[in-house]
Amino acid sequence: MVTTSTIGRSVPRREGAAKVTGAALYTDDLVVADAWYGQTVRSTIPRGRIRSITLDPEFDWERVVVVTADDIPGENVVHLIRDDQPVLARVGGEIRHREEPILLLAAPDRNTLEEAVRHVRIDYDPAEPVYALEEATEVYSTINIRKGKDFEDVEGVELVVERSFRVGLQEQLYIEPQGAIAIPWRERGAGSREPGVTIIGSLQCPYYVHRALKRALKLTDEQAVVVQAETGGGFGGKEEYPSMVAIHAALLARKAGRPVRLIYDRHEDLAATTKRHPGVIRHRTGVKKDGTLLSQDIEIVLDGGGYCTLTPVVLSRAAIHATGPYSCPNVRIHARAVATNTPPNGAFRGFGAPQSLFAAELMVEHVAERLGMSSVDLRRKWMLRLGDTTATGQTLTESVGAELVLDAALKAASAVGRSGGRAVKRGRGLSLVFHGSGFTGSGEKKLQGTLAMEALADGTFRILTASTEIGQGTKTIFCQLAADALGVGLDKVDLAPQDTSLVPDSGPTVASRTAMIVGRLVQEAATEIKDRLQRERAPIKVQKSYVQPDSIHWDETTYTGDAYPIYAWACTIADVDVDMTTGEVRVTDLVTAVDCGKALHPVMAEGQIEGGTLQAVGWATIEEIKMKDGGYQNDRLATYLIPTALDAPRIKTILVENPYSRGPFGAKGIGELPMDGPAPAIIAAIHDATGVWLDEIPATPERVLAACASR
């Protein structure tokens, strides 16, 4: 029997039927016998100390379970990069942001739970909070990148352009809020319970939660079991935060001696969970009169909020992408992330790169304007090409797609249409970006993502991986890759559940690494199985771990070398209508050409790009978080707006295939890339329409009107 490969074909999504019939089970859909409901009680002040926690004697506390920091069996820390974030703030302990978790409650029903919450009183000794990035003194991390000479020492500079940019907070807004169910034991076979904790939750990284759970609850590897339920979107928001939710649920379940459901409502999710880092980026660019790029001097400051979370890694990606996809002989990048008394910021699709690329791309526009050149021509002059080196000194030896995507986007964009009326002005803007696929520097090497595969006696195959399906298509693509390498039909391959007691740690589902890095392990495992089946009989199990190719060198101390295994590239052209009376910006059409290496599943690749693109349109135009006393003023879905089907532009996606030798079939990671390009393209389009430059996003009507008025 001949089976044809499905690579490059848009086969139906594995869990598609379950998702269109309502059969797919997300965390809150799971029925768990005897489960209670949990709730987190949070700080109402941004900074200070907890003086006391009082449980009102009027309430019968026998009816509920109460957990405080004293009930934590292990360490009171949410394990991540730095051990600064407590699971629960303790009496006498410091409060570093509003909505910081202090106490947990569980009750048999929601009414009792709400009643109990009303009878908890927390008194504080408040301290003076720091909100403004400029006033922050505590630094989480700094990064310095140096290439060539200092700005002042560069010779031949004929024009210096300086500009400063500001980007705002953004909520991931997965439509399924955070949630976990904790069961204070683990099942071993039918009905036999063993000591431990089982977590079933909405999450991207089962092993992140596993590690955090072990530490806070003092569990062994086996005792902690983490299972991913069907997950309704992540976008980075379910990278680190689920560890917090899981530990809280586990503490309640342990004390209650029964399962506990800790499911956030939207309001709590918006108010308390991590956001995209806001920041300020200052550029100084030195060029010759003919446009030759001589020197870039860039300062980045990101606001990490109250705790460190993943901030140093976000900062690193921001710094490495700060030059834009351009070749410059002399570069200085100074990046730092500071602490403020606002809720912690964390992972969000793009991970720092959208912030710094926003500034880099607008800088090209400003330099072009000063030189009287077209910004497209200037990009052609500056863009990275094969053999060029990046700011970290990485020589690009393959799959450099800057020019390919620029040409493809320009070709695909139709003529700019007429605007819809006298008060409406139309404009077009363009951006060119790159995005490193996979972890930064030696991240993949340290991580050593592992995947296993089994050939079963019945002739089927099973992939064992902790990589999660969060809508992006992991399950489908892994099955395609395995079936292809094994030479069997898609129906012969399946995935084991994302359950830490069954699957090895393939690393987190982040950083656009899953299809490219773990996908390659799928291929390797399948190839080995196929080979062994020539000589052996099933069952066979093989395991594969990532091996860093010798050609990749990275020096963490000097921040030089191969920052990423490879880069994906994109060019975006945005058309906007600006209503000159209301200041409203409407993005009407958007063309984006993406060099993805190889589209393993074109429909899913397009889907990732379209979704990321709209998320970026939201960030650039309407998604604004207003702060009030260290909290978010618009912490409800009625006031935090994201684009609807009516707001969304017509998006045209062009997939450019420019293979990468180590990616499966040449594929590169593209999950985050679409978040990078739209914002600067939209701001350039607004300038084209109105003649004013905005330096800050989102481009709200107030900002647009103010900019037009001050012209």
Residue 680: its H or E element: helix 678-690
The site map against another protein for 237-266 (x = CB under 8 A) is ----------------------------xx
**Per-residue tokens: 659:** 């293979």
CB 381 within 8 A of CB 292: yes
Could you give phi then psi for residue 400, rounded to 5 degrees? -95, 110
**Per-residue tokens: 462:** 């099973």
- Beta strand residue intervals within 117-258, DSSP E: 120-126, 139-147, 159-167, 179-183, 186-187, 193-194, 197-201, 224-228
Picked from another protein, ligand FES, none, the partner binding residue 644 (CB below 5 to 8 A depending on kind) is another protein
C-alpha to C-alpha distance for 329 and 347, rounded to whole angstroms: 31
Q: How far is the CB of 694 from another protein (least distance, A)?
A: 23
Picked from another protein, ligand FES, none, the partner binding residue 595 (CB below 5 to 8 A depending on kind) is none
Q: Does 22 bind another protein (CB under 8 A)?
A: yes
Residue with Cβ nearer ligand FES (637 or 705): 637
Residue with Cβ nearer another protein (14 or 166): 14
Residue 211: its H or E element: helix 206-217
Bond before 12 cis per omega within 30 degrees: no
Q: How far is the CB of 74 from ligand FES (least distance, A)?
A: 35
Picked from ligand FES, another protein, none, the partner binding residue 604 (CB below 5 to 8 A depending on kind) is another protein
The type of residue at 170 is Q
Could you give phi then psi for residue 13, rounded to 5 degrees? -55, 140
Please select the residue that binds ligand FES; options are 175, 386, 457, 547, rule is CB under 6 A.
175
Picked from ligand FES, another protein, none, the partner binding residue 132 (CB below 5 to 8 A depending on kind) is none
Stretch 507-536 residues interacting with another protein (CB under 8 A): none
Kindly indicate which of the ranges 219-227, 283-291, 330-338, 599-607 contains the residues binding another protein, using the contact rule CB under 8 A.
Answer: 599-607
Size of residue set near ligand FES by CB under 6 A:
3
- Beta strand residue intervals within 168-259, DSSP E: 179-183, 186-187, 193-194, 197-201, 224-228
Q: How far is the CB of 324 from another protein (least distance, A)?
A: 24
**Per-residue tokens: 209:** 């939660």
Residue at token pair 């359950």: 499
Q: Does 221 bind another protein (CB under 8 A)?
A: no
Residue with the closest Cβ to ligand FES? 175
C-alpha to C-alpha distance for 354 and 322, rounded to whole angstroms: 9
Picked from another protein, ligand FES, none, the partner binding residue 411 (CB below 5 to 8 A depending on kind) is none
Please select the residue that binds another protein; options are 99, 577, 595, 610, rule is CB under 8 A.
610
Stretch 339-378 residues interacting with another protein (CB under 8 A): none
CB 435 within 8 A of CB 321: yes
Helix (H, G, I), strand (E, B) or coil at 22: coil
**Per-residue tokens: 148:** 């060539």
Q: Does 38 bind ligand FES (CB under 6 A)?
A: no
Residue with Cβ nearer another protein (21 or 534): 21
Q: Does 471 bind ligand FES (CB under 6 A)?
A: yes
Nearest to 178 by CA among 348, 44, 27, 32: 27
Q: Does 612 bind ligand FES (CB under 6 A)?
A: no
Sequence-ordered alpha helix ranges (H) in 308-425:
311-320, 353-371, 375-382, 402-412
Q: Does 671 bind ligand FES (CB under 6 A)?
A: no
Picked from ligand FES, another protein, none, the partner binding residue 235 (CB below 5 to 8 A depending on kind) is another protein
CB 264 within 8 A of CB 245: yes
Helix (H, G, I), strand (E, B) or coil at 565: coil
Q: How far is the CB of 664 from another protein (least distance, A)?
A: 20
Q: Does 588 bind another protein (CB under 8 A)?
A: no
CB 605 within 8 A of CB 655: yes
Please select the residue that binds another protein; options are 8, 93, 504, 607, rule is CB under 8 A.
607
Stretch 27-56 residues interacting with another protein (CB under 8 A): 28-29, 31
Interface residues toward ligand FES, by CB under 6 A: 175, 233, 471
Q: Enumerate binding residues for another protein (CB under 8 A).
A: 10, 12-13, 15-26, 28-29, 31, 172-177, 230-235, 265-266, 470-473, 603-604, 606-607, 610-615, 636-638, 642, 644-646, 648, 650-651, 653
